[in-house]
Amino acid sequence: MKKKHVIGLSIIGVLLLIFAFTDLQISKAVYNPTSSYGLLFQAIGEFPAAVIATFCTMSLILTRTKAKSVKYILGTIGYIVILLLFAFMAALLPITYLKGSKLLIPVLAVLYIYISYVIAKKYSITNRNELRNAAIVGVLTFVFVIIAFNLLKYAWGRERFRHMMTVGSFDGFSMWLIPHGPAAGDDFMSFPSGHSANSAIMIWITLIPTFVNSLKNKKNWFLLFAVAWIILVATSRVIMGAHFASDVTMGAAISLIIFTVLEEKYIKI
């Protein structure tokens, strides 16, 4: 294990230890369900993950080795179905939270697919292998993260802070490391944070320099932006009372760990 990975895991471990004893106090101090900041990132926090998944799926389609076979045809159909699913997710999430017109959903989905095609087409010609490897990491990260945090949410059954405020009792609160599942409903799916997990998929942008030659020396800037995005989304979820500090920490950790494992496997530095 690399030194930077040990440091990262240590930081996550320390934060989870601290929040195990301070979760409730932090939430009581910052809770503001009408916060404009909180509402904004509630709407757009998960959006980049679905856009990344859309682009990566398009990249996989364009970098496939063409063949005349039933397997190739079935694979193509599968890719198209997944592409449409991810594009509609990217369009649906912000529209739902912002209560926009649902007529915009297919329009935005088509727009995301088109933009993904234009960009991926360019680099599928100049840096095919690098683009494909980055795309594999992106799609697998998105899929594995969604599966992981949803399974944990259901298994843990942790009550959300905002539900405690609604019922006027903190009796249901407990440390994050104590599972209470299976969850009795959305109000009991606090741990871990799905928004934070999806926001952390933004770390994928650090792979852009691997297939865009002009950006090869800009990885640190992409990393800085990704970290800032993760923190902004995670903080907003605590302010909204949707999650505790430990929930958002674990949510982000899940994505970062999955991404790191896949990056080590597929990306050759």
Three-state SS string across 51-83, please? HHHHHHHHHHHHCCCCCCCHHHHHHHHHHHHHH
Contact status, residue 191 vs residue 247, Cβ threshold 8 Å:
yes
> What is the model's pLDDT at position 230?
97
> What is the model's pLDDT at position 171?
94
pTM of the model: 0.94
Q: Which residues of 38-76 are buried (b: 16+ CB within 10 A; e: fewer)?
A: bbebbbbbbbbbbbbbbbbbbbbbbbeeeeeeeeeeeee
How buried is residue 175: exposed, middle or buried, by Cβ count under 10 Å (0-12/13-18/19+)? Answer: middle
> What is the model's pLDDT at position 30?
98
Other C-beta atoms lying within 10 Å of the C-beta of residue 159: 23
> What is the model's pLDDT at position 269?
59
* Average pLDDT per 10 consecutive residues for the chain, totaling 269 residues: 86 96 98 96 93 97 88 91 95 87 93 97 94 97 97 96 96 94 93 97 97 93 97 97 98 97 88
